[in-house]
Amino acid sequence: MAKGLKYEDFQRTFMSGANREVNIMPCIFDKIFKLLTVLFIITFFMFSPGFRLELQAAGARRVLVLYDSAGEQGWRGQLYSICLRNLLGHFPVAIALKEIENYASGEIESYDAIFYLGAIYDNKLPQSFLKDVLDTSNTVCWLGYNFWQLAWSKPQQTRKSFEKKFGFRYEGLRNVHYPQVLYKGFSFTRKAANPDIGLATITDTQRAVEIATLHLSETLNQAPYIIRSGHLWYVADNPFAYVTMSDRYLIFADLLHDILGFDHQVKHRALVRIEDVHGLASPEKLREIADYLYSERIPFSVAVIPVFKDPKGIYNFGKPQTIRLSRNQNLKAALKYMVNRGGEIVLHGLTHQWDEQPNPRSGVSAEDYEFFRVKMDSGRQVLEGPLPEDSLDWVGERVEQALIELKASGLEPVAWETPHYLASEVDNRYFGRRFKLMAHRGIYFVSGQGGSLHFINQFFPYVIENDFYGQKLAPENLFCFATSAYMGEPPSSVSTILYEARLNTAVRDGWASFFFHWYQDLGVLKEIVRGIRAMGYEFVPLSSLLDESNHPR
């Protein structure tokens, strides 16, 4: 098994034992499960990501993402390239990822837009690539390190031909913390843990334009964060590192429309999801939430865990407990009431926990992971790797059990939400083929030297039509109301959520999407909904994303 990673270490770099088969349905369904699993395996391979990409790529603009891959830290370039590839999934483009070390001379001319992700300090870039960037008329976007190899003729000496052609001078890498980035009248944050910044000075305003500005309020010191000069875009750091929900990452997400040449109507929509509804949920609370949202004509979704399990009896006086939705008449009635009031069902796993043991905390539904092995180490979560039994057969059977349990309760899902967002690559690709829409963030990981796993948690301010796993992702960019740290995120108050929602209006097609736990104070939900509406956001049904393509035209 790959080496583990502390859960808190991967959040925001921006995000065994004897197996006992879970069998929640009567034996009469066993053959049905197996038949369905076989059918979906066939479908999975017939419509593999590569095959689907070819279909989408017909007539689409071609984009090449080049990234650093050399040395012990090479995994960083691969991980950040996945983040960029995911954002590009918002647009109707054909995307190729490639290590910069393997760049071929002239390759730049085969693409409409080229992105270089400078993730490794002073990684030696091919001379052919540097020459092609200087000579091409195609769009080039440079993010982060190593710009000096393009803009300098020798260390600390400006390449005069570069400055003359592009109208700005590269000053060099500085260890200065600029905590704010200004854009469209908004102030976005930039974490102190990320001090490296590639400073530049515009020398010809007829050729170069400052798009976003670094700002240090104490000294009123400012510098360009993003510069555009004709076909060349320069971003002074890596916007996928040290990301928060109020981060300069949102600026780059908006500017991708301009970089790629896909403008999008300014339109701001909102989503709200009622979270972790399971066998212990209060039917009265659910009806109260539904009544309020219905009275305000707010469409909403409900994340349902079809089988509640408490294998150690932690919430049942020491007696193991399993509650199936199909046998819980009061909860079934409450969920149908919510649907009649404008709610839509999101399938939130089968049990939202794994086996009969902690993974990593209690083994209780909604508290543990279902599709990834996680352990505790000195109070911290360690992400170990895929579960011992993880396979296409296993995940397929588990999902089909959940769907049959829902159907037996008279409910149909419009989307899938992976419990705690985390699953193996096999599982994620299966979800992307089985469901037309996902209602979760993405957690992505790559292997480094020695087999160690490296993770990143990525949120999106708009719809992603096709992510790295082939999933269509609804945005979930405001997270949730939480009075204490939750899932690696800091506490989030009503004012924090509304502040972040306002920042997302700087993204021309930015959303305000959050979830709310059913057991929390309804007054808090009312404050959030009122505040988001007051900014001009329109709440829409989650299923509306199934009826349209959100690719900009």
- pLDDT tens-digit series, residues 124-170: 999 999 999 999 999 999 999 999 999 999 998 999 999 999 999 99
Q: What phi and psi, each to the nearest 5 degrees, are found at residue 480?
A: -150, 165
CA distances from 456 to 13, 36, 78, 135, 240 (A): 6, 33, 11, 35, 9
| CB distance 467 to 460 below 8 Å | no
**190 part of a folded domain:** yes
Number of domains, the chain:
2
Position 384 pLDDT exceeds 60? yes
| Cα(477)–Cα(536) distance, integer angstroms | 17
Position 49 pLDDT exceeds 60? no
Position 408 pLDDT exceeds 90? yes
* Residues paired with 188 in a beta bridge: 181
* pLDDT for position 292: 98
* pLDDT for position 59: 66
Average pLDDT over residues 215-240: 95
For residues 349 and 447, membership in a common domain is answered with: yes
For residues 507 and 407, membership in a common domain is answered with: yes
**9 part of a folded domain:** no
Q: What phi and psi, each to the nearest 5 degrees, are found at residue 44?
A: -55, -45
Q: Which domain holds residue 23?
A: 17-48+266-546
CATH of the domain at 246: 3.40.50.880
| Cα(232)–Cα(166) distance, integer angstroms | 8
Position 439 pLDDT exceeds 80? yes
Position 220 pLDDT exceeds 70? yes
| Cα(287)–Cα(271) distance, integer angstroms | 19
* Residues paired with 381 in a beta bridge: 376
* pLDDT for position 219: 80
pLDDT tens-digit series, residues 465-486: 999 999 999 999 999 999 998 8
Q: What phi and psi, each to the nearest 5 degrees, are found at residue 457?
A: -105, 120
* pLDDT for position 10: 42
**DSSP letters spanning 74-126:** HHHHHHHHHHHHHHHTTSSEEEEEEEGGG--TTGGGG-SEEEEEE-STTPPPP
| Domain limit, last residue, from 231, 260, 289 | 260
| CB neighbour list of residue 220: distance below 8 Å, 6 or more residues apart | none
* Residues paired with 480 in a beta bridge: 515
* Amino acid (1-letter code) at residue 212: A
Average pLDDT over residues 250-277: 96
Beta strand pairing call for 511-517 and 453-458: unpaired
Question: Where are any strands of DSSP class E within 285-391?
Answer: 300-304, 307-310, 321-324, 343-347, 373-377, 380-385
In the chain, % of residues over pLDDT 70? 88
For residues 336 and 473, membership in a common domain is answered with: yes
pLDDT tens-digit series, residues 271-323: 999 999 999 999 999 999 999 999 999 999 999 999 999 999 999 999 999 99
* pLDDT for position 549: 67
Position 80 pLDDT exceeds 60? yes
For residues 199 and 320, membership in a common domain is answered with: no
Range in 27-36, 48-57, 159-168 with the lowest mean pLDDT: 48-57
Average pLDDT over residues 445-456: 92
For residues 309 and 452, membership in a common domain is answered with: yes
| Domain limit, last residue, from 234, 260, 286 | 260
* pLDDT for position 97: 98
Q: Which two tokens stand for residue 41?
A: 């395996």
* pLDDT for position 551: 54
**58 part of a folded domain:** no
Banded pLDDT at 29 (limits 50, 70, 90)? very low
For residues 23 and 150, membership in a common domain is answered with: no
Residue 272, SS3? Answer: strand
Banded pLDDT at 13 (limits 50, 70, 90)? very low
Banded pLDDT at 8 (limits 50, 70, 90)? very low
**57 part of a folded domain:** no
- Give, rounded to a whole angstrom, the gap between the first and last alpha carbons of the chain: 45
**1 part of a folded domain:** no
* pLDDT for position 28: 43
For residues 319 and 437, membership in a common domain is answered with: yes
Say how many CA atoms lie within 13 Å of 115 toward its Cβ.
28
In the chain, % of residues over pLDDT 90? 83
* pLDDT for position 12: 37
| Cα(498)–Cα(530) distance, integer angstroms | 10
Position 7 pLDDT exceeds 60? no
For residues 337 and 478, membership in a common domain is answered with: yes
Position 17 pLDDT exceeds 70? no
| Domain limit, last residue, from 260, 295, 317 | 260
| 8-state DSSP, 169 | E
Average pLDDT over residues 47-54: 38
**Of 525, 22, 82, 501, residue with least CA distance to 307:** 22
| Cα(183)–Cα(213) distance, integer angstroms | 7
Q: Which two tokens stand for residue 102?
A: 């393997």
User: Given its phi and psi angles, is residue 254 left (phi above 0), alpha (psi -120 to 50 degrees) or beta?
Assistant: alpha
pLDDT tens-digit series, residues 309-359: 999 999 999 999 999 999 999 999 999 999 999 999 999 999 999 999 999
Position 446 pLDDT exceeds 90? yes
**158 part of a folded domain:** yes
**137 part of a folded domain:** yes
Beta strand pairing call for 157-158 and 152-154: antiparallel
For residues 338 and 487, membership in a common domain is answered with: yes
Query: Mean pLDDT across the chain, nearest whole number?
Result: 90
CB atoms inside a 10 Å sphere around CB 429: 20
For residues 203 and 329, membership in a common domain is answered with: no
For residues 212 and 347, membership in a common domain is answered with: no
For residues 157 and 175, membership in a common domain is answered with: yes
| Cα(146)–Cα(496) distance, integer angstroms | 35
**432 part of a folded domain:** yes
CATH of the domain at 526: 3.20.20.370
* pLDDT for position 263: 87
